[in-house]
Amino acid sequence: MPKLKPSKKEEESTITDRNHAIGLLDSGVGGLTVAKEIFRQLPGERIVYFGDTARMPYGPRPHAEVRGFGRQIIRFLETQDVKLVIVACNSATAAGLPHYQAEFDLPIIGVIEPGVRAALKHTRTGRVGVIGTTGTIASGAYERSIRAINPEVTVFSLACPLFVLIVENDLVDTPEALRVAEEYLNPLREARVDVLILGCTHYPLMSHVLARVMGPEVKLISSAEETAREAEEVLRRLKLNQEEAKPANRHRYFVSGSPGPFESIGRKLLCRPVEAYQVILP
Ligand code: DGL
C-alpha cells in the first residue's frame, strides 16, 4: 500500500492557525457521513460544512458544472477560515479534485483514493464492486485509482442514481428502497464481488439496506474512516491538528436550499443538534 505523500500545495500552505476549522462539502447530507467520522477520530477539530441542497443531485450533471460548484463552495469555505478542505462528495472529487488542488492555496483532499485504499485492504478475491452516481461511475476515477495501486484487481462498477434521492428524501427504511437496491445490485451479486465500495457519500446512510441485499460475505466499504485518517495525517504533518476534545456546538452547517430536511437527517445521523443556515452563493 503506497504511503501518503504530502502534496505540493500542502508544502506551500500558509495557514498556521490550529483553531481554524476543517471545511467539508457535498451536494447534501452525504458528506455528513465523513463529518461523523471526523467527530469520532478527531474530536478536537471544528468543522464547517456546506451542503449544496438547492443544486442536488450532482451525479447527473456534467463534470464541468459540478467542478464550478465545487470551486464556488471552496471559495465560500475560505471565508470561514478553514485549514483543510475535504471534498466529501465523490461526484465533486471525480469532477475536479486536481483542479481544486491546483487553484486554491489550501490543502484539499477527496474521498475516492481513501475509499480505494480501504477496499484494497479488504479484498481477498480481487473482485471489487463500486457503486456511485452516474457522474462518478462515468468518470472512471475508481478504476484508475484501483489499477494504479493494483492492476490485478477486477472492478465491477455500477451507477445507482436513485439512492441519493432515497437518502435525501428520508425514504431509506421503506419497501421501495429495498426493491430499488435489489434491482440495482443484482449484477454485482452475480459478479461475486467480495467488497463493495460505496462510492457516494450518501450511500453509507442506507448501508443496512445494501448489506441486506449483498449478504454477509460482502464487505461494504465507506471512504469516511480512511478519509478522516488522511485528514488527521495531513493536519499533523502541517502541525495544524487540534487534539483536545471540545464541545460539539462549535460546528457550523450551511446549505443552499431549505435547512429543515438537512437538519432532521443530520440530527438522526450525528445524534446531536444540527442547526443549518441557508446561504445563497453568488
Ligand atoms: N454525495 C455525493 C457523492 O458522493 C453526491 C451525490 C449527488 O448529489 O448526486 O457523489
**Residue-wise pLDDT tens digits, 153-167:** 999 999 999 999 999
Q: Output the CA 31–ligand 1 centroid distance in Å.
A: 8
Nearest to 224 by CA among 26, 36, 22, 4: 36
CB–CB of 111/223 below 8 Å? yes
pLDDT band at 170 (very low <50, low <70, confident <90, very high): very high
Mean pLDDT of the chain: 94
Cell of 170: 428520508
- The helix (run of H) or strand (run of E) holding residue 242 is none
What's the predicted TM-score (pTM) here? 0.93
Query: Per residue in 69-83, is it b (16+ CB within 10 Å) or e — as a string?
Result: bbbbbbebbeeeebb
The third-level CATH classification (topology) of the domain covering 113-224 is: Rossmann fold (3.40.50)
Q: Output the CA 102–ligand 1 centroid distance in Å.
A: 22
Other beta carbons within 10 Å of 122: 13
pLDDT band at 18 (very low <50, low <70, confident <90, very high): confident
- Out of 63, 116, 197, 201, give the residue to mutate to test ligand 1, the one with the largest number of ligand atoms within 8 Å of its CB: 201
pLDDT band at 243 (very low <50, low <70, confident <90, very high): confident
- Out of 26, 227, 262, give the residue to mutate to test ligand 1, the one with the largest number of ligand atoms within 8 Å of its CB: 26
CATH of domain 8-110+225-278: 3.40.50.1860
pLDDT band at 42 (very low <50, low <70, confident <90, very high): very high
CATH 3.40.50.1860 in the chain: give the residue spans.
8-110+225-278, 113-224
Range 82-86 average pLDDT: 97
Range 33-52 average pLDDT: 96
